């Protein structure tokens, strides 16, 4: 891509079924098909940007990959600030008072 990002995932609904259109496929391989993309993920180094189809065209949230200790401290501080904290099995969402969400995902310390 022009800014140095590479596509790592493209998933969408085509002919009533969810399919992937990942590299080595290029846009020209499916440009003429009517695909409703659910998610497109691009990466550059440690930066991962995910674009997804939602109900409204909004900038929904930003996500961070953090260590378990950081996760717990961030959640504690968010609760103290009065933010809603929704801890899930795979990811946690912090809801700010400004209707913006922060996603936390944890990784194993190595």
Pick the closest to residue 70 from 107, 96, 45 (CA basis).
107
Q: Is the pLDDT of residue 4 over 70?
A: yes
pLDDT of residue 14: 94
H helices present in the chain, as ranges: 68-80
Check residue 54 and give its pLDDT.
77
Report pLDDT digits (tens) over 7-56.
999 999 999 999 999 999 988 999 999 999 988 988 888 788 888 887 77
In order of their start, the domains of the chain are 6-52 (no CATH), 61-107 (3.30.720)
Residue 110's pLDDT band, with cuts at 50, 70 and 90, is: very low
Query: Residues 44-89: pLDDT tens digits?
Result: 887 888 888 877 777 878 888 888 899 999 999 999 999 999 999 8
3-class DSSP state of 79: helix
Residue 48 sits at the vertex; the CA angle it makes with 81 and 79, to the nearest 5 degrees, is: 10
Place of tokens 């846009």: 27
Q: What pLDDT, on a 0 to 100 scale, did the predictor assign at position 99?
A: 84
């Amino acid at each position: 891509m022009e800014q140095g990002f590479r596509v790592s995932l493209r998933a969408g609904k085509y002919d009533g079924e969810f399919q992937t259109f990942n590299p080595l496929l290029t846009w020209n391989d499916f440009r003429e098909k009517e695909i409703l993309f659910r998610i497109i993920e691009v990466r550059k180094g440690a930066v991962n940007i995910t674009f997804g189809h939602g109900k409204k065209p909004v900038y929904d949230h930003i996500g961070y990959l953090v260590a378990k200790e950081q996760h717990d401290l961030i959640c504690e501080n968010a609760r103290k600030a009065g933010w809603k904290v929704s801890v899930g099995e795979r990811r946690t969402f912090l809801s700010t008072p400004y209707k913006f969400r922060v996603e936390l995902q944890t990784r194993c310390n190595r």
